[in-house]
Amino acid sequence: MSNVITASHLTLAYNNGKTEIIKDATFSIKQGEFVFITGPSGSGKSTLLKALYGQLKPSEGDLVVGGLDLTNVRQGRLQELRTHLGIIFQDYKLVNEWTVAKNAILPLMIAGYTIDVQETQAQRLLKHVKLSEHADKYPLELSGGEQQRVGVARALSKNPAVILADEPTGNLDDYSSNVIWDLMENACEQLDTTVLVVTHKIPSVFSLPYRHFIIESKGVYEVH
Amino acid sequence: MKFIKNHLMFILPLMAILLGIEFYLVFDRTTDSYEEGLKERYSMLVVSKEPIEFSTFKSLENHVSSVKEIERENIVAKVAKGIDDSASDEIIMALPYFYEVRLDSYLDLDNLEKIKANLKVNKNIKKVETFGSSHGSAYRLFKFIKFTLKLFLFFISIVSLFLIIKQMEIWKYAHKERMQVMEIFGAPLMLRSGILFKIAFLDAFIATFLTSLVFLYVKLVWAGVSGIDIIVKNQEKIFKMSDIGILLFSALFIVIIAVYFVVFSAKGVEE
Ligand SMILES: Nc1ncnc2c1ncn2[C@@H]1O[C@H](COP(=O)(O)OP(=O)(O)OP(=O)(O)O)[C@@H](O)[C@H]1O
Ligand SMILES: [Mg+2]
């Protein structure tokens, strides 16, 4: 199967290359794989995801995502790539002046689906993440865990080719966490979605085969 | 309250520009006719012993464009009311011939003196009066006022444009979070900054409407009672309905530039 993500000798840095976070990392991820990424706080997990969705340009090495060379990419192509990604942020990044339902279907809105499709899809999604009764509320009226689940619903709304999730269960109890893991497992299993999840705790019950990377001391290592 | 303030901060400078544009248009139109008037009223009085044909005038001075003989009967009728006909006939016979001579272009004083001299070559022409000196300085003052006004309007426009862009940046900041989220999910520029375009377009319409109202008021109410000759005479030129189109077009043009300026100054990818 083909590689969805290929990094070779990848170096990521802030401040115009002065603050190196990840150095000389080489790895690849195939389509349909489920990958956990762990590592200490501040090790660069979120930074790696940022590079994968094109928000941080590699300072050295190569990074190819979905066939797109992110070291040198035009804005239009990057825009197109991003519509195939489902990103879950550590800090949720919901739009506070939009309702929960509208937040959840942002990718559908961007893709230009009709209002009807958007509405039915919003209902379906919010039911999945157990937020049906909150559809018309605004993000700031929700608890942290509820906001996080809106973020998950948004990321899954358009059945993305790749899910990039940053601590998607960071604020959730075991029950809610399992709901999220189930959703991701389903996407991976049934839709062949590639899933990368940054987490501090790999779930104890997990039915799919998965790979595990650790980020530590600027390196990205795979645990076998 | 804050909402209204934000919009006013955008609408007012935009209106300043639109008022400037409209004022310029009006000024240009009314002064065009004023300039025409200056030229038309601009004539010479020639006094001659014998009648002179237009062709003779033309041969003396090529700038002559038209010649009108002033009826001597009228002159006599004015000065000699109640005098019997035979007496007034005698007076008429004794009078020289008067001609109002118009020129084909506006000329400065030196040229007028030359024309005067050229006409006097004809022995019959006893006197040539010009009104050059008063017209010349009035005209020059006029040109000067026109120039300073243009300069003033230009600077007002520049300053206003900066204010508009500043306000646009405040808006961008207010909508930054949403625009960034949308960008990360691959929304195209137009969708991301749609809100800015919406606000800007709305305000462009409001500013055009208000500016039109101001000028309609000036035209329909104020102009009639202003007592200013040139304004009363040119009332219909003060605001034409087609000006609304010009203003709206200008307003939209300005806000589109402002929005693009702000949107493209946003930094996307971190280096
Ligand atoms: N925009 C930025 N500019 C400069 N330095 C940054 C920026 N973002 C993150 N960093 C630094 O990069 C390092 C890695 O940050 P990152 O957010 O990737 O860590 P993380 O592994 O996700 O940590 P956590 O588990 O706490 O979320 C940190 O030392 C952080 O201070
Ligand atoms: Mg992080």
Assess if residue B142 is contained within a domain: no
Every domain of chain A and the residues it spans = 1-84+198-224
Query: Based on the domain organization, do B190 and B93 belong to the same domain?
Result: no
At residue B89, the pLDDT reads 79
Tens digits of per-residue pLDDT, A118-174?
999 889 989 989 999 999 999 999 999 999 999 999 999 999 999 999 999 988 899
Q: Which of B103, B130, B157 represents a domain boundary (last residue)?
A: B130
Contacts of B187 in chain A (CB under 8 A): 79, 110
Residues B97 and B119 in one domain: yes
Fold of the CATH domain A1-84+198-224: Rossmann fold (3.40.50)
**A55 vs B270: CB contact, 8 Å cut-off?**
yes
How many domains are contained in chain B?
A: 2
B271: confidence class by pLDDT, cuts 50, 70, 90: very low
Task: Quote the minimal CA–CA distance from B4 to chain A in Å.
Answer: 18
- pLDDT tens-place string over residues B110-143: 777 888 888 888 888 888 887 655 556 667 777 7
pLDDT digits (tens, 9 = 90+) for A46-63: 999 999 999 999 999 999
Q: B106 and B163 share a domain?
A: no
CATH code of the domain containing B57? 3.30.70
* Joined tokens for residue B38: 């200056």
Helices within chain A (DSSP H only): 45-52, 75-82, 100-104, 106-111, 115-128, 144-156, 174-191
Residues B156 and B99 both lie in one domain: no
Closest by CA position to A126, among listed A101, A146, A107: A101
Distance A214 CA to ligand 2 centre (A): 13
**Other beta carbons less than 10 A from residue B11's beta carbon:** 24
Q: pLDDT by residue (tens digit) across A189-198? A: 999 999 999 9
Q: Between A and B, how many residue pairs show a Cβ–Cβ distance under 8 A? A: 55
* B143 within a domain of the structure (yes/no): no
| Same domain flag for B157 and B249 | yes
Instruction: Look at A210 and B32; give whichever has higher pLDDT.
Output: A210
Contact A176, A99 (CB under 8 A): no
Residue nearest (by alpha carbon) to ligand 1 atom 31 = A42
In a domain, B257, yes or no: yes
Residue B139 is assigned to a structural domain of this protein: no
Q: Are residues B24 and B73 in the same domain?
A: no
Give A60 Cα–ligand 1 centroid separation in angstroms.
18
Are B185 and B99 in a shared domain?
no
Clarify whether residues B154 and B261 are in a common domain.
yes
Query: Are the beta carbons of A106 and B177 separated by less than 8 Å?
Result: no
Helix H or strand E encompassing B259: helix B241-264
Domain extent, residue B112, equals 43-130
Tokens of A149: 């689940």
For residues B102 and B183, membership in a common domain is answered with: no
In a domain, B27, yes or no: yes
Cβ-based contacts of B178 with chain A (< 8 Å): 95, 97-98
More confident residue, B132 or B2: B2
B63: three-class secondary structure by DSSP:
coil
Pick the closest to residue A35 from A177, A206, A218, A216 (CA basis): A206
Does B141 map to a domain?
no
Residue B18 and residue B207 in contact, taking contact as beta carbons nearer than 8 Å: yes
Q: Which residues of B touch A107 (CB under 8 A)?
A: 185-186
Q: Is the CB of A50 under 6 A from ligand 1?
A: no
Co-location of B158 and B251 in the same domain: yes
Looking at B76, B98, B130, the residue that finishes a domain is B130
B136 within some domain: no
Domain assignment of residue B66, yes or no: yes
